[in-house]
Structure formats: structure tokens, C-alpha cells
């Protein structure tokens, strides 16, 4: 009897609602074809050292459709091509990609599904160049991948952010306060823009539109002058005052701004109080945006992506990333898919509509 | 001083999450242009008899972004062109559309925003033909309007349906039961298809794919044979067994199937029990799908539509419906927009993916 | 080395949010004492035939705190003392309780935790009389057990019911309709009373207060007369019109009224339409009330009960049921705990308050 | 015709879910008695200067049952007995309580309902001593009032906190991280204890039990040693390391610890990373805990309290606070009710149960 076709699946990068739904769809679609699926633990770490990998069976995926997180574990570290090891007590970067290829072979895999963001997909592309038959599934709560119209995780993150704005709304209104909410999104303003409009924010500050604190304060004052008596400001972690200077260092560090360094939200709330005299409070929503049950939309998209990844393997289309081009799911070559980020076009319909409603972008 | 530009807004047809978000956006965008907005009560009824109409002010729309329903009231009745009145104790259909035009003039309106489904938009088109400067905003929880890729209300309805499936899941599993959930959608299977995939249903029955009870029972038995020991079946109110006969009358009546007549869900649960001996339960989700706070996506889309409707008026584009063609909102002539329904293509990516996962459509 | 102390755990009766939280607490508390826990499948069925029982390990309870349902399965059937078997094609009732005792011994158990409602606890009491060291944990969404002030499941059921009322509210108001919602609770009105008040219902009908359709219709008319123009009616499945007659048969059958027979909700909506001419709709919430993630309160109570059950075993207090007497959890002898149901006192503070607000009970 | 009995209602102190539900119940109960209700804006500020007070009518309270916040506005400032005014540019404390009494009379009130926390109720007590017929309604998300077993707001705050823990859970597990969540509660650990147990936290740190960082780190290491590979730590804003020293200044300031000063959560996450080498993240949940729709329980309790306040006035029981002594709502003299805070008993059943489950309190 011929060996069953066997595929591997791994998740890389930051946690994202819908990862488990993709894994489930990969497994169910594979089972439906009579294939076997090996779950690789903690992203590429588990490919380089496959000792922790194990076959995924029916009961492993029972009930995970609605669960946040990933049953395979994930990590932001462990790039096989630039692996950090200690040598003589000092960290040295070495290329361990051959170990990843070896791991793939050792597990007896016919193909590999890599679910992850731009970083993970870049590694997938390089592994494919080394001959690994690979299919990528895009993941990002930030909606910053240009090759897919949208992917799972974003709708959940926006919903969580909107829910937070809703919760702060009543307190802002009751206490006649300014509430500043700092949201995720890295270099892109998608989460902030969408949740800001959906949550009825008065000011929306995103990296794509450098803002002026004076303009923000004008809007705040305008709200009190017209007896609205409170103001909701949402600000993306990557937003910056026009002229800049202030956050240069954070911008360089590639990481998220740490609360204790004083994120943009805390800073802005203080500036508003200083300049307007209005009582202001800030909140950094942080990791809540990565967690929780995926929304219906994210579960649906994740499921479609998982099925499409197996379809690509069945059709021997390797080196591609599945992508949503509504109403279709298509296969995009990995080299075209990676490294192209998507920021909010400043003339997008969302921004146009928001400005027509009177929302300020601080510009 | 010149008279302020004044526009009217009304909502027609069935309740839908996001109506208030559109109204709010219409009012805020109008205020931003220095215009005045008149709220017309209970759809076209309130246009024919404008005595209940009243100006919408800032406090009227405070807090309504997140609220289901419509502050203007709505109705499924009251078509001015085919108005039912009693004459000599018997209902007679008369044309009262001149009253609607008179109402429009009496209120001193420069333009009218009509928010509603296909029925409302058909009336809007005919009023436009009578010279009323009108802009339509599409509304449907059923996602069955072909002129817009999607509209508000659908995402909320799908979320509510998915949440119900989630809730029934644990009981089905704990009691090793078959659970049949009957969902809305009229002649289209969108709500059932999307929530079925997102909720992890095992069988999805939609009007677009006539089903065989035998095939459904095969899937049920297969679940127990493979030790899953429970089965979730979602069925659209308009789904029909292949060969039909059974529900011909309901299909003709244009209305939703009444619970007491025995909807498709109750009937199917009984058939499954009869044929498989498995304990089955059914639930008709009904009006819950029309209510509740709109999801983030629906609030965003509704807000964009409200802003776009005012934009159309500003640009003197009358006789159009705003429509989502991602990433844009466009204006579609009403004559092109109405009367074209959208059912689920049987070769859509969603259905393809669902089948790859092993979900049965009873065909 | 001495054999590890080993306890068994089973769940019986209808599904209830929080069951898994109890199981988790039983297992964690046992592990903390160095004990072993055996999970018994499908209530007493799994005790009589212990072949499906299996040890519960750490990974079996990972993540179940927030999950509805029970990982052990449950059933409304399988009373060992009155077991239905087929003899010569006909169902005969036999006493198989010796098999249950044998199962207990075969599994090498030192004690047994039985989580269930009044039916399950009655069986537990009889097994204890046969020498099985047993501890009961009360479970009911209906809040109808008199020996504990409250138990888990009820708060979740009330929340689900209230959420449904909220969802129907906007549709009722937008369409100026009467909405009738039929809720669970068997012979008690707790779910209906609490969710009715919390959901802002105008009429609350419970088994404890026989209602007059005329009084209900008076309240409906009063709502329209005072321009509220909609009305929310919540009705317990066990509510009955004064004078009765109508639902005698259903009341006798001990089971829930079946939708197709015409539940009280459907019947009442039709009566209201007939008598007032107002458009009415009804909804039977049904099994949704048994499902879903347990609320915070239910998770907390379930966890406390699970810990207390193990504590009782540690203290060799058998034949008891854990019970909440705030702020304490106490042990009540099973013979005192079972068979005593708790209905809503008609002079309770909730009812007094509701009446002061102007809510009608149809009396 | 005799003047209608007229009562006033105000809300004081921090925002709290359920305030609007109390206001609604006060108004509905009053209407039912034929009384009139005056809404006083922004707590006692609005009593001292009653120009902004206005009659509450039916439409003012429509839909507010489910809304967070207070339609009357609130403030943490404005104690009439210790009112801060500027004299010669410097803040001076003056007694303006006579103005409050004058305001009461000017508004023609027969009685006043004051909804607020301990601070508000203390002022109410002093106004009652000056002859104002007053009834208090206790409000606190912190559950720290000893005179009532529980009050509205707390259940919502605990639910919000638990939901946050749930969301962080999947990320902690997927990334194998330590997650530290800082929660509200002032000097009491109720929110942290209840949400910690309900959310499945591994470490719960509350003000009532001084903790040792070493013990916390031991628990963290134990989680990784037993392959759980992640750890959830919840810490009350008022929790302190045994020995103290560290947070003396914050503790003195009576206010909540400011994020930028480095709250206990941020500090603890850093300590854990330093001592265990495990990747840790912290989140300050902050004002989210004060907002949002009240839970079913909080709506019910708030409604009962509002009805009871009017009942007290009807029975001419002044100078009392309504209080929940399940199943009753009773009237407690204000002098007995205020100034007595309720912290978590260290031998409470919740803590006992939590320790039995293996949860660490860092002691």
C-alpha cells in the first residue's frame, strides 16, 4: 500500500484570532482527501527541531474553530536563515535553514502549509527557493498585507477595539472627559480607522496622516463649545505628530511602543489636558486586540484559506500564498506577495466619509 | 438669508441592524454642510401623511450608532403606488403616490434619502420617475441585492446565527443529538451558508441546492459512525427537498414560513429522527436575526452609506442607490439596482471550500 | 506504595453552562491532593457500563473552564433504579442499580461526584443508601432547587434570555409590534422573571401567577395609548391562564411543550392579535438557554462547587450535596436536598419591584 | 389641585454600569405613583446650582436600561461641605452645603434620591442631617460597601475583567508567555479575586494578602516545569508586596496608580522576567471596567434598588440607604451604611476554593 500523502502545518509570528480555524480547515480538508497532517510546534523552531511534531487527529481539532490562539504554538523568533545562537556568551546570527529542510524531510512531508505574517511568509519564500514545496496562508490583525484584500484576524481586532471605544464612551460622556485610546496596527492605521468610525470617535489619528496637536485640541474644544461635552480620540500606535522628532526612536525600533516609555496615547492625553484644561484619560488596549474568539467573518475567511491551501497542494501549486480577491480565493506567487505592505490610502472612501461626518484626523 | 438646504430621510421594510447608523451619518454629514434634516416616520406612510415628520437635531442621534432598529420607525406596508384602503368594508388597492409627492413638497424638502430593501427601493425608483429627487440606501439582512457587493445588516445577522449555532453545539455534543437550526434569508442561502461554515455545521441546506433527506441522513449516520456522535444541521427557511412538492405552498406565499405550520426545520428534525432513530431537536431562530447591536463591519458600512447618500445629493446625483464596490462606494442608477436579486452561486468559493471540508449540502 | 486515592465524576440530566467548570475544579482540586480522577461517560449509563470511563488528565481539562456542555456527556435517561430495557419487543422497567454499584467497584473508586439536577441527585441519594460514598453537585438552569440559594447555569440562561429580549426590543419598537418570547423554567418562573425585569419587558407571565389574557391585552393597549407603541411580553413555558383548562395536557406530560403543538408563546401572540388587532410575533428561545459560555458568576460558582465536592470527600462527608448559602458553601444531606423545588414567591422583592415599575403579571 | 409630589435624583462619584437602570426605575416607579421626577445634573454640583436640572419624562428614559454611564452626568468632585474655590488665585475649601439645601428647595423637591459610592453617601448623610429628606442608593464597581451584600456595577466589572483574561489566555498559551493583568478595586481585591477564579488565573494578588515576588515566580516556574508553558497573573491595583516600601507613595495618594508612574502590573511583569527569564507582558485594564452595558444581574439589582428608593420615599423612610440582603432589599440608616468598607476575608470560601485548586496568592 502506498504511503499516505502527508503534509505539515505550522503557525508563525504574533498570535491572531483565526489561526486555529485555518489549522482545522487544513486538517479536515486533508482528511477528506485521505491525507495525513503533521502539526509542527512553535513555527520554524519546530521544523528545525522536529522532535515535538506530532500527527493531528480528529480529536485534536475538535472545538478549535471558535478558539483564539494556535494549538501549534507560535513565536516571533526563530528565523532559520538568521538564527540567533550564543557563541562564547555572545549572540551570533547563523544560517540554520538546512536544518529546516532536513526537518521537513525527516518528518516525511510532501508539502508544508505556513500560516503567518509577512515575516513568516518571507521565510517561507526562501525555504521554497531551497526546494521545499510550500504554501503560505496570510495572517495579520493589522491588515497590512497588500497581496490579499483582507485576511482573518483583522475583523476580530477591529471588533475588540470598537467594543473598547463603546465601553469608554459612556464614561467619557458621564464624566465629560476626553478619552484617548491607543490601538495597534504597526505602521498602518487600519484598526484605528475602522474602529474609530465604527465606534463613533471624534478624532482619528493614523500613521498615514501626520497630525497636529493644535488641530486635535481645536476639535476637542469644538465638542465642548457645541455642548457635546466629551471627546473620544483614537490613536494608532504608529501615529506621529507632523514635524515628528518626538517618536523617532520608537519608530526605528520596529517593535511596539512600550507603555512605560510613554506611548503616544499617554503622551497625547497629557498634551490635551495641558493645552485645553479638559480632564483627559488614556488607555492602551494592547494585547487584547490579538486575543478572543474570532468573529464570524474571520472564522469564515480562515476556513476558506485553510481549504484553499490544501487545494493548492492537491494541484501541486507550490510557492504560493492563498489570497482573498472577493469573491474568489486565489494563489499568488510568494515572491509577489511578500514585502509589499498596505497602508491606508489618504483618499480612501472611509477617510472621505469620516471627514464628511466631521471626524478630525488632526490635519 | 437663503433657506437652509433641507433633506428628508426615511426607513422602509423589515428591521435591520445598522439603520440608525445610516440615519446618524446622514444627519452628521448634512450638519457638516450646514443643511437641515427632516426625519420621516414609518417609511412612506410618513411621507403620504407628513404630520408626524420632525426635524432631527444633534441630540436625536446621540448614541444611536450602536443601536439596532430605527428611530424613524419602519413598516413592511404602505406602498404609495399600491396602497390598501378599506372601501365598503373590503380592501381596495389605490394609487396614493401623489400624496407622497405632496408630502415631499409640504415638508419643503430638497431631496430624500430612502433606506430600505428591494421593495422600498422599487418605490423610490417610481417616486423618482415622478420627479422626486431621491437617493437610495440598500438594506437587507439577507444579502440578496445584486447591485451592491454587500450591505449592512448581513454581518450582524450572520453573527447572531453563528452565535446560536455555537450555543447549540455544546448541547448537541453533550447529549449526542442532532440539532437542526432554521435560519432566515428568504430565497437566498447567504445567512445559512456563511453562519454554517463559521459555526462548524456538518450539513448546510440552502435554497440554491435542493437537498435529499436521504443524503442528509447519510451524513448524520456518518458522524455517529466516526464517533463524532452529534450533528449540526443548518437549514435556510427557503431550502427545499429535491423534487419539491412539500413546500410548494409556502414558497408561493412570499412570506416567511410560520412556525405553527411547521417550518422546514421542524419538519426536517422529525424526518431525521424517523429515518435514523437519532434524537433530534430543532430551533427556529426567527426575529433574533433582525435585532441587536450592529457589528463593527455593519456600523462602518452603514456610516459610509449615509455619508455617500448626502454626497450624492450634494453632487445632485438623484435616482441612484449607493453601493459598495470595494474599496469604493459608488452610485448605481435605481433602475439598474432594483429587482435583481443575488443568490449563492453553487460554484462559489465558499461552497467549494465547505465541500472540501466534508460539509454536506444534501446533494 | 499505597494506591492513589481515586474518585469518579459524572454529569447527568440536561445540558447546563458550567458543568465543565465543575469537572475542571474537581480534577484540579484532586490533583492538588495527589488523587486520581476517573471521568464516567453519559451519566449513570457510564457507571452501569464502565467500559468507556477513562482517567482525566491535565490536558483533558485544559481550556474547558469557559466551555458550555460537558466533556463527559450527559443524558436525561438511564436511571439505574428504573431502567428501561426491551423484553420481547416491549419496554420493561428493571432495577439495574446493582450494576451501578458494581461499576463503581470495578473502577476502583473511593468516592463519586455526581453533578446533576433533582433527578440525578435523587438517584445519587439512592446509590448512597446502597453504600456508595457519593457527593452531589446541584445543577439547574431553572433555579428550582430549594436546598441551594442559587447554582451555576441559571445566570447564563437568564443572560441569554435577556440578550434575546434586547434583540427583539429594537424590532418591536421599529415595527410598533407586540413581541412575545417564550422562555424555559419548567414549573418555575425564575428565568422569565429575572430576564423580564432585566430586559425591560412590559408583561411577565410565570407559572406562579395564573394570568388573564384580558389583563395582558389591557397592558398592551395601555402601551399604545400612551404612545409607547410596542410591547414586550415574556412568558414562561409553564405559565398558564387563570382558570386553566387549555394546557392541562402539556402540564401533565412533565416535558417541555413542543413548538409544533403550539407552545404558550405562539398561542398567546395569536390571542393578543385577535383581541387587540395589534401585530404580534412570537419566539420560542428553546435550547439556546442551555448553551453558550458560562457567565463569570456561573464559572465562579461552578468552580467553588467543584472544589467543595472534593473537600467533602477529603473530610469523608458522603451523602451530601454542596450548596451555596452566601457567602459560604455548605454540605446538605442529600435526603434533605432532593425533591424540594423552589418556585418564585409571589411576594418576593423582585415581583414587588416589578409591579411598582408598572410591569404587568397578567393578574 | 394639589401639587404633584416631586422628587429629585442625582448620580455622584465614578461611572458605574447600572446607574441608568436605577434612574429609569426611579422614574418609572414615580410615574406609577403619579409623581414627578427632576433630574439633577453632575451630582451635587447640580444641586448647588440647580439651573441645569430638568424634569425627566418618559422619552428621557426610553432605552437607557441597557446603557452604561448616567444620563445625569456625574463627577468625583463637588462635595458641598468641602467645596474647592479659588480665592486670590489659590484653592480654598469652603462649606457650600447651604447652597445645596437651597437648591433642593428651589426645585420644589419633596425628597432626593442620591445614587453613589461611599463618598456620595457620606455627603447624603450630612445633607440629611441638615434636614433634606434623602434616600441613598449604593453604587460601586469595587464591591467595597459593607452595608449591602452586593450592588450593581460589580458583576459587569468582573465580567469585563474576566473577558480580558480570556482574551489574553490564548495569546499567553500560543506564545508561552507570562501575562500580568492589573485590575481595579481600590483597597479591595473583589474584582481581581472573582475574575481571577472565573478566568482561570494561576496567580491572584490582592491587597488583603501581601505577596512575595519569589512565591509568584515559584508558581510561574512550576507552570513551565509541568509543561503548562504559560502563566496568567492577575493583580489588583492595590496589591502590595509583603514588606511593602515599594508602593507607599501610591498607597497614600488615595487615587488610582497612574500608568506612567509604573503601576503594580508593569512592575511585576518586569520583576518576573528578571527573576525567571520568562517572556512577560502586562496590561492595565483601566477604565474599561467602568463602562459597557450592565450585565443582567446588574440591571436587575439596579432596577430593584430604584424601585426600593421610591418605596422608601413613599413610606417616608428618609436618611436610609437601600441595600441588598438576599432575597430582600432593606433600608439601612445612612449613618450605619457609610464609612464601613468591605475587604475580602482571607478565609472566605472563594479563597479557600482557589487555594484548593492550586491557585497561588503569592503568600
Confidence of residue C3 (pLDDT cuts 50, 70, 90): confident
Question: pLDDT: is D262 or A237 the higher one?
Answer: A237
Looking at the complex, report in whole angstroms how far the Cα of residue D282 sits from the nearest Cα belonging to chain A.
9
Asked if the Cβ–Cβ distance from B303 to A357 is below 8 Å, we say: yes
Confidence of residue A243 (pLDDT cuts 50, 70, 90): confident
Confidence of residue D99 (pLDDT cuts 50, 70, 90): very high
Q: What is the 3-state secondary structure (H, E, C) of A155-190?
A: HHHHHHHHHHHHHHHHHHHHHCCEEEEEECCCCCCH
Confidence of residue A237 (pLDDT cuts 50, 70, 90): very high
Which chain C residues are within 8 Å of D58, Cβ to Cβ?
Answer: 226, 228
Asked if the Cβ–Cβ distance from C282 to B259 is below 8 Å, we say: yes
Looking at the complex, report in whole angstroms how far the Cα of residue A264 sits from the nearest Cα belonging to chain D.
12
Looking at the complex, report in whole angstroms how far the Cα of residue C308 sits from the nearest Cα belonging to chain D.
7
CA-derived radius of gyration, chain B: 22
DSSP C148-170: SS--TTHHHHHHHHHHHHHHHHH
Asked if the Cβ–Cβ distance from D356 to C311 is below 8 Å, we say: yes
Partner residue facing D310 (CB), from C28, C228, C356: C356
Asked if the Cβ–Cβ distance from C168 to B15 is below 8 Å, we say: no
Confidence of residue D174 (pLDDT cuts 50, 70, 90): very high
Express as a percent the part of chain A with pLDDT over 90.
91
Most distant pair of Cα atoms in chain B: their distance? 80
Contacting B with CB below 8 Å, chain C residues are: 11, 14-15, 17, 19, 42, 67-70, 73-76, 160, 164, 166-171, 173-176, 179, 259-260, 262, 266, 281-284, 286-288, 290-292
Asked if the Cβ–Cβ distance from B299 to A195 is below 8 Å, we say: no
Which chain A residues are within 8 Å of B198, Cβ to Cβ?
Answer: 296-297, 299-300, 303
Asked if residue D67 lies in contact with residue D19, where contact means CB atoms within 8 angstroms, the answer is: no
Chains touching chain D, criterion 3+ CB pairs below 8 Å: A, C
pLDDT value for C50: 96
Mutate to test the interface with B, among A357, A358, A359, A360 (most CBs of B within 10 A): A357
pLDDT value for D184: 97
How many CA atoms, within 13 angstroms, populate the side-chain half-sphere of residue B326?
Answer: 12
Partner residue facing B304 (CB), from A155, A200, A353: A353
DSSP B55-101: E--GGGSTT-TT--S-TT---S---GGGEEEEETTEEEEE--HHHHH
pLDDT value for B3: 83
The distance from CA D138 to its chain's CA centroid, rounded to whole angstroms, is 9
Looking at the complex, report in whole angstroms how far the Cα of residue C348 sits from the nearest Cα belonging to chain B.
31
Confidence of residue D3 (pLDDT cuts 50, 70, 90): confident
Residue positions of D annotated with a catalytic role: 142
Residue positions of A annotated with a catalytic role: 142
Which run of H or E residues covers position C94? strand C90-94
Which chain D residues are within 8 Å of C315, Cβ to Cβ?
Answer: none
Asked if the Cβ–Cβ distance from A286 to D283 is below 8 Å, we say: yes
Mutate to test the interface with D, among A175, A200, A256 (most CBs of D within 10 A): A175
| Interface predicted TM-score of the whole assembly (ipTM), two decimals | 0.94
Express as a percent the part of chain A with pLDDT over 70.
94
Which chain B residues are within 8 Å of C282, Cβ to Cβ?
Answer: 259
Confidence of residue B252 (pLDDT cuts 50, 70, 90): very low
Distance (Å, whole) CA A295 – CA A306:
16
Distance (Å, whole) CA D120 – CA D115:
7
Contacting A with CB below 8 Å, chain D residues are: 11, 14-15, 17, 19, 42, 67-70, 73-76, 160, 164, 166-171, 173-176, 179, 259-260, 262, 266, 281-284, 286-288, 290-292
Rounded to 10°, the helix D19-32/D296-314 angle is 40
Asked if the Cβ–Cβ distance from A357 to B25 is below 8 Å, we say: yes
**pLDDT score of C257 more than 60:** no
Looking at the complex, report in whole angstroms how far the Cα of residue D198 sits from the nearest Cα belonging to chain C.
5
pLDDT, mean of residues A205-216: 97
Please, what are the domains in chain B? 6-152+294-337 (3.40.50.450), 157-290 (3.40.50.460)
Partner residue facing D175 (CB), from A15, A283, A284: A15
pLDDT value for B1: 60
pLDDT value for C335: 96
Looking at the complex, report in whole angstroms how far the Cα of residue A288 sits from the nearest Cα belonging to chain B.
16
**Which chain A residue has the Cα nearest residue B329?**
A349
**pLDDT score of D250 more than 70:** no
Which chain D residues are within 8 Å of A19, Cβ to Cβ?
Answer: 174
Asked if the Cβ–Cβ distance from C296 to D356 is below 8 Å, we say: no
Residues paired with D180 in a beta bridge: D233, D282
Asked if the Cβ–Cβ distance from D155 to C296 is below 8 Å, we say: yes
Which chain C residues are within 8 Å of B262, Cβ to Cβ?
Answer: 260
Looking at the complex, report in whole angstroms how far the Cα of residue A223 sits from the nearest Cα belonging to chain D.
16
The alpha carbon dihedral of D262, D267, D269, D271 has a sign of positive
Quote the cell numbers at residue C152.
Answer: 451555576
Asked if the Cβ–Cβ distance from C299 to D162 is below 8 Å, we say: yes
Asked if the Cβ–Cβ distance from D197 to C299 is below 8 Å, we say: yes
What are the percentages of helix, strand and coil residues in chain B, rounded to 5?
A: 40, 20, 40
Question: pLDDT: is B254 or C340 the higher one?
Answer: C340
pLDDT value for A259: 36
pLDDT value for C244: 63
Asked if the Cβ–Cβ distance from A171 to D70 is below 8 Å, we say: no
Which chain A residues are within 8 Å of B25, Cβ to Cβ?
Answer: 353, 357
pLDDT value for A262: 65
Asked if the Cβ–Cβ distance from C58 to D194 is below 8 Å, we say: no
Asked if the Cβ–Cβ distance from C167 to B67 is below 8 Å, we say: no
**Which chain D residue has the Cα nearest residue A16?**
D171
* CA distances in angstroms from C107 to C39, C45, C70, C126, C142, listed in the order given: 10, 14, 21, 19, 33
Confidence of residue D248 (pLDDT cuts 50, 70, 90): very low
Task: Please give the mean pLDDT across all residues of chain B.
Answer: 94
| Per-residue model confidence as pLDDT tens digits over B80-120 | 999 999 898 899 999 999 999 999 999 999 999 999 999 99
pLDDT, mean of residues B311-336: 97
Distance (Å, whole) CA D73 – CA A177:
11
**pLDDT score of C319 more than 90:** yes
Residue B293's CB is within 10 A of a number of other CB atoms, namely 23
Asked if the Cβ–Cβ distance from A296 to B58 is below 8 Å, we say: no
Which chain C residues are within 8 Å of B290, Cβ to Cβ?
Answer: 171
Residues paired with A19 in a beta bridge: none
* Least trusted range by pLDDT, from B93-107, B135-149, C313-327, D239-253: D239-253
Confidence of residue A1 (pLDDT cuts 50, 70, 90): low
Residue positions of C annotated with a catalytic role: 142
Whether cis (ω within 30° of 0) applies to the bond prior to C158 is no
Asked if residue A237 lies in contact with residue A272, where contact means CB atoms within 8 angstroms, the answer is: no
pLDDT value for C243: 79
Partner residue facing B15 (CB), from C69, C170, C284: C170
Asked if the Cβ–Cβ distance from C167 to B291 is below 8 Å, we say: yes
Partner residue facing B353 (CB), from A308, A349, A350: A308
**pLDDT score of D247 more than 60:** no
Partner residue facing C25 (CB), from D28, D226, D357: D357
Distance (Å, whole) CA C136 – CA C319:
8
What are the percentages of helix, strand and coil residues in chain C, rounded to 5?
A: 40, 20, 40
**pLDDT score of D259 more than 90:** no
Scanning the structure block, which residue is given the C-alpha cell 404587568?
Answer: C360
Model pTM score: 0.95
pLDDT value for A3: 83
Partner residue facing D357 (CB), from C296, C307, C328: C307
Asked if the Cβ–Cβ distance from A296 to B155 is below 8 Å, we say: yes
**pLDDT score of C311 more than 80:** yes
Which chain A residues are within 8 Å of D179, Cβ to Cβ?
Answer: 287
How many CA atoms, within 13 angstroms, populate the side-chain half-sphere of residue D181?
Answer: 38
Partner residue facing C287 (CB), from B74, B160, B171: B171
Question: pLDDT: is B237 or C77 the higher one?
Answer: B237
Partner residue facing B195 (CB), from A199, A296, A352: A296
Amino acid at each position: 500500500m502506498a504511503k499516505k500523502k502527508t503534509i505539515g502545518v505550522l503557525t508563525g509570528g504574533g498570535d491572531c484570532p483565526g489561526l486555529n480555524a485555518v489549522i482545522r480547515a487544513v486538517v479536515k480538508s486533508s482528511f477528506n482527501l485521505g491525507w495525513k497532517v503533521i502539526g509542527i510546534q512553535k513555527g520554524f523552531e519546530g521544523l528545525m527541531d522536529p522532535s515535538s511534531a506530532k500527527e493531528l487527529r480528529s480529536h485534536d481539532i475538535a472545538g478549535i474553530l471558535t478558539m483564539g490562539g494556535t494549538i501549534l504554538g507560535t513565536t516571533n523568533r526563530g528565523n532559520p536563515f538568521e538564527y540567533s545562537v550564543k557563541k562564547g556568551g555572545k549572540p551570533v546570527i547563523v544560517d540554520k535553514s538546512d536544518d529546516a529542510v532536513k526537518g521537513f524531510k525527516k518528518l516525511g512531508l510532501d508539502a508544508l502549509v505556513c500560516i503567518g505574517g509577512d515575516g513568516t511568509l518571507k521565510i517561507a519564500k526562501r525555504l521554497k527557493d531551497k526546494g521545499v514545496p510550500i504554501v503560505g496562508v496570510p495572517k495579520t490583525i493589522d491588515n497590512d498585507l497588500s497581496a490579499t484584500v483582507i485576511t482573518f484576524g483583522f475583523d476580530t481586532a477591529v471588533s475588540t477595539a470598537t467594543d473598547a471605544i463603546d465601553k469608554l464612551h459612556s464614561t467619557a460622556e458621564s464624566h465629560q472627559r476626553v478619552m484617548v485610546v491607543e490601538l495597534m496596527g504597526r505602521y498602518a492605521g487600519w484598526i484605528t480607522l475602522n474602529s474609530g468610525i465604527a465606534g463613533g470617535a471624534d478624532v482619528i489619528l493614523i500613521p498615514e496622516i501626520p497630525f497636529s496637536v493644535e488641530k486635535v485640541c481645536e476639535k476637542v474644544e469644538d465638542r465642548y463649545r457645541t455642548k457635546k461635552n466629551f471627546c473620544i480620540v483614537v490613536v494608532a500606535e504608529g501615529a506621529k505628530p507632523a514635524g515628528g522628532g518626538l517618536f523617532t526612536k520608537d519608530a526605528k525600533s520596529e517593535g511596539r511602543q512600550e507603555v512605560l516609555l510613554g506611548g503616544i496615547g499617554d503622551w497625547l492625553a497629557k498634551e490635551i489636558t495641558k493645552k485645553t484644561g479638559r480632564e483627559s484619560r488614556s488607555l492602551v488596549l494592547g494585547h487584547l486586540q490579538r486575543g478572543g474568539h474570532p468573529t464570524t467573518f474571520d472564522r469564515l475567511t480562515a476556513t476558506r484559506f485553510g481549504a484553499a491551501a490544501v487545494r493548492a497542494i492537491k494541484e501541486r501549486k507550490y510557492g504560493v500564498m492563498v489570497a482573498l480577491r472577493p469573491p474568489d480565493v486565489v494563489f499568488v506567487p510568494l515572491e509577489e506577495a511578500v514585502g509589499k505592505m498596505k497602508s491606508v490610502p489618504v483618499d480612501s472612501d472611509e477617510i472621505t466619509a469620516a471627514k464628511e461626518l466631521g471626524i478630525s484626523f488632526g490635519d
